[in-house]
Amino acid sequence: RKEVEQDPGPFNVPEGATVAFNCTYSNSASQSFFWYRQDCRKEPKLLMSVYSSGNEDGRFTAQLNRASQYISLLIRDSKLSDSATYLCVVNNAGNNRKLIWGLGTSLAVNP
């Protein structure tokens, strides 16, 4: 089993749609969770950290379920500019300075 697993997609959605990405992680001792966004041929950029209580930033909502070792990202009212790859990232419980990266989920928002 991969340490961080994501559905690779691609997800093709119309503008205005709501889309949800899911991610599972294998190490129950992991403490920090993130969603990064990566545009084609660009560097990853932090979208949001994920907290146990769940957190929201505008159209983006992240949820963490520790019991199920599951992380989600919900994007409401999709914009064309949301088209990117979304990477689920978890800290390495054995070495806090290292992150474990999912392969990413590709999103294309269409006019």
Partner 1 sequence: DAMVIQNPRYQVTQFGKPVTLSCSQTLNHNVMYWYQQKSSQAPKLLFHYYDKDFNNEADTPDNFQSRRPNTSFCFLDIRSPGLGDAAMYLCATSRAGPDTQYFGPGTRLTVL
Q: Which of 27, 32, 55, 72 binds partner 1 (CB under 8 A)?
A: 32
C-alpha span between 49 and 3 (Å, rounded): 18
- Site string (58-97) toward partner 1, x via CB under 8 A: -----------------------------x---x----xx
What separation in angstroms does the CA of 19 have from each of 43, 69, 95, 107? 23, 20, 33, 9
C-alpha span between 18 and 63 (Å, rounded): 15
Binding to partner 1, residues 40-59 (CB under 8 A): 41-46, 49
Per CB under 8 A, residues contacting partner 1 are 31-32, 34, 41-46, 49, 87, 91, 96-99, 101-104
